Amino acid sequence: MNSELEGYSDQLLSVKQDATGLMSGLSDAQFNWQPEPGRWSMAGCFDHLNKSAAQLFIPKIDAAIADARARGLKNGGPFSYTAFERWAIRNNDAPARRRFKASKNTQPAPTLSIDQVRSEFVRWQDELARRLRDADGFDLQRAKEVFPIWPFKWSLGAFVQMMLAHERRHTFQARQVRQNPAFPV
């Protein structure tokens, strides 16, 4: 695996371990506790990540890999990404610098089972790790796909970076919920 993808794989593993650690030892009631009305619970943060992986990131990463394969875009890097891609990734990373409204199809459900959300989260992390292996050898800069919320094409490498930033953002948010002084013990 090229060094850029290895770095992404390490980051993905770190997020997976951090998130599953945050979810350990909690009841469903604790997992669904909201710091205030209208704010996401830990369950909301991880359900949003699951829905985002399933509906936004994985299909687009798959399409960008298919594009690279079809066009024979082979390259081992290094890669560079556009100023806008870098700016958007920075603004979606933890800690949150800006608030964004989640799309309707990625809004979390009101009440969730911790066991179900955790197992789904681990499954999506494993799926994302497989996509990183599938992307190896392809040109992460020239393989492109339209981003779900912006009407222009993003490079495969930037898609992966955005996904990782998004996961760090909401894992950080979940940690803040768990560290809230009013969090139920």
Q: What is the DSSP string of 61-111?
A: HHHHHHHHHHHT-B--------HHHHHHHHHTSSSPSS--PPPGGGPPPSS
For 81-123, write each residue's pLDDT tens digit: 999 999 999 999 998 877 888 878 888 888 899 999 999 999 9
Highest mean pLDDT, choosing among 60-69, 88-97, 144-153: 60-69
Both tokens assigned to 86: 């870098």
- Look up the pTM and report it: 0.93
Check pLDDT > 90 for residue 7: yes
Q: Calculate mean pLDDT across residues 163-185.
A: 96
The CA–CA distances, whole Å, from 116 to 43, 71, 86, 164, 174 equal 10, 39, 34, 22, 17
Displacement of CA 18 from its chain's centroid (Å)? 13
* Dihedral, 66, 157, 16, 36 alpha carbons, nearest 10: -110
Fold that domain 3-178 belongs to in CATH:
Four Helix Bundle (Hemerythrin (Met), subunit A) (1.20.120)
Mean per-residue pLDDT of the chain: 93
